[in-house]
Structure 1
């Protein structure tokens, strides 16, 4: 993409900051380079695309990346990918394997079918996290709300966090806390397509953080060009598979021409510190992507609080780590949706890898972006 094209697809993050902007962190991640998968490439009888989450397996030196394809271009699935990441950049990559994510009966999920009773609804897979100690994966579905009419019944598939083996087999699921249930009338709970987008396991393997992309209906508006938003980030105990805490994260206003700003993924640096992606995309007009450091600190635990408007709430502390739009050498910048830690670099720094979702559109790209912390 030429510089004019990049300008059309990006705007500086300065425009999305609120009246009291976060302060940039002293040690910003350094951009190393990227590798792009060819658009429309077919691997193991599936079209590569829709990659919305990523998680690194250091023992195998593999990245597990999940597709949000609802069985339109293949099965509900994840891939393993090998990238050649070093402090000198990204020297290529390739897809290694593909696995279906299976239901409780051991079968692949079928495509949406509203002509049967009950209707068949495919999960909207969005995030993935690898657990090396337990040799398993955690993955989210945003759920799905299907509008009904006189001939087709309405359908409702609730969001979930499920557990899968490395072969995609079903191993169980987490108990969702109150407030993360979709409502058919869309008056409470999550906004459709703005649910469980972010997922990350803490380095000690004890906790799993899950982030909403947008505000719950009862918590206020979604972040747009005029208004900031607030989402909930839930902390789950892995052993009990239950929520133990929940915190508010404030989302900045969206940059001009980008539509709505939200959180597509998170990376747990500890049991109290996160790297958070904020991304607003209205392609092909514009996209804005920034990384923030967020810390629990003195944040209010809002687990079980029906509405954030009912009490005084202290959000997570946050600071700007990196404005990706400000990197002239990062070209193009697309619809970034996933983040994970990568290998330790030869110079001792830790790498971080991001992945973009091309939405199976020719104007977008599937890119793996590498940074050094």
Structure 2
């Protein structure tokens, strides 16, 4: 099922959204491209961040007969000031689900995390999502609260099979009521789909989504490079992911190349290769066309590196009509470093996957709240991190 609305409304939203994308304020200078590890210089109209604090919740914390963990997406609900989180449990431990939580975020960090509710995500027929190897399984990754309706929009990256017995499950962005009931599925660009020699790589597909333009637009990014767009990052070179700007009804307005960083260390030999990509994107409500991205890398033998970047779409090439970006002379989105979590006094760098705006501080600074996915592993953590952005 697709989101239904009258054709006139779709056209009107597309026109307004396209105007927002193309008529951005000329007074805000585009970001300069930044080398890895280069922070924004003070006074240059670019964001920079400082560390406030962190807290964790117990491993395999139990709430209403579910295991709290695998938290891969977070958003602050503007209607309540509370937070909604999505677990990437593929219904292996408990049915696919979201949580509601209350956090205190202030100048001294993040405190008093309380899980206050949970809802099961449901299929169109009202049933829960089954685990793999069912072809109806999902892999939940990110969640956003609809600023217009309060509904939940959530992404799932599907499954590109690596064994003959595994099903192929296409990525999707779904809309659910606040109690998890299915409402609709957003039409996605054709190149977001798994195909034999094209589309996203397995476990590098659609994760990050964000609303911008007051809810008229939904922007997403594929975690890693599409097969047709080139190789993944190595220590010697970065790679290219695709960002897509759509109306809330699915009309694709533009698509852009996001330059992923090279690996921060050489991987040790072993059965598992490195994992690097963008698990979260967050629109800047004050500056149209700008976003924050979360780049998370895991390298065998070197653990995690997590960085937050500010990006600007203005001036970048629209690649929505390009079958492949490999070897093409184009202008990627501009990015610069806002925060490297290694620069902060964290007890460990975790598998951080979720990113949202928190409340504004008395200083006028905005806060960011990040959450890590513990992979339901005893040696990892569900950690909430608070930063101040100026």
Q: TM-score, normalised by structure 1?
A: 0.88
Say if 2:368 is the partner of 1:352: yes
Displacement of 1:242 after TM fit?
2.4
**Match among 201, 205, 222 for residue 212 of structure 1:** 222
**Match among 187, 192, 206 for residue 175 of structure 1:** 187
**Match among 235, 247, 258 for residue 237 of structure 1:** 247
The aligned residue for residue 133 of structure 1 is 148
Displacement of 1:226 after TM fit?
2.8
**Contact 2:34–2:336 (CA under 8 A) maintained in structure 1:** no
The aligned residue for residue 156 of structure 1 is 168
The aligned residue for residue 22 of structure 2 is none
Correspondence list, 1:61-210, <5 A: 61-113=81-133, 119-147=134-162, 149=164, 152=165, 154-183=166-195, 185=196, 187-202=197-212, 204-210=214-220
The aligned residue for residue 384 of structure 2 is 368
Displacement of 1:122 after TM fit?
1.2
- Partners of 2:266 and 2:120 lie apart in 1 by 37
- Cα gap change, 1:72 to 1:131, in 2 (>3 Å): same
Displacement of 1:71 after TM fit?
0.6
Deviations 1:120-149 (A, max 9, x none): 341111111111321111111101133554
The aligned residue for residue 3 of structure 2 is none
- Partners of 2:323 and 2:386 lie apart in 1 by 39
The aligned residue for residue 60 of structure 2 is 40
**Contact 1:221–1:227 (CA under 8 A) maintained in structure 2:** no
**Match among 329, 351, 363 for residue 312 of structure 1:** 329
Moved more, 275-284 or 95-104: 275-284
Say if 2:277 is the partner of 1:262: yes
Displacement of 1:21 after TM fit?
4.2
SS of corresponding position for 2:355:
strand
Displacement of 1:45 after TM fit?
1.2
The aligned residue for residue 287 of structure 1 is 304
Displacement of 1:23 after TM fit?
4.1
- Partners of 1:68 and 1:345 lie apart in 2 by 31
- Partners of 2:252 and 2:175 lie apart in 1 by 15
Deviations 1:42-93 (A, max 9, x none): 1111111111111111321211111111011111111111111111222221
Q: TM-score, normalised by structure 2?
A: 0.84
**Contact 2:143–2:152 (CA under 8 A) maintained in structure 1:** yes
Equivalent pairs, count: 344
Deviations 1:267-295 (A, max 9, x none): 11044101111111247741111111100
- Partners of 1:241 and 1:203 lie apart in 2 by 15
Gaps of 5+ in 1: 1-17, 114-118
Moved more, 212-221 or 129-138: 129-138
- Partners of 1:355 and 1:313 lie apart in 2 by 34
Two-structure CA RMSD over aligned residues (Å) = 1.9
Tell me which stretches of 4 or more aligned residues in structure 1 moved more than 3 Å. Answer: 18-23, 146-149, 282-285
Say if 2:264 is the partner of 1:249: no
**Contact 1:213–1:231 (CA under 8 A) maintained in structure 2:** yes
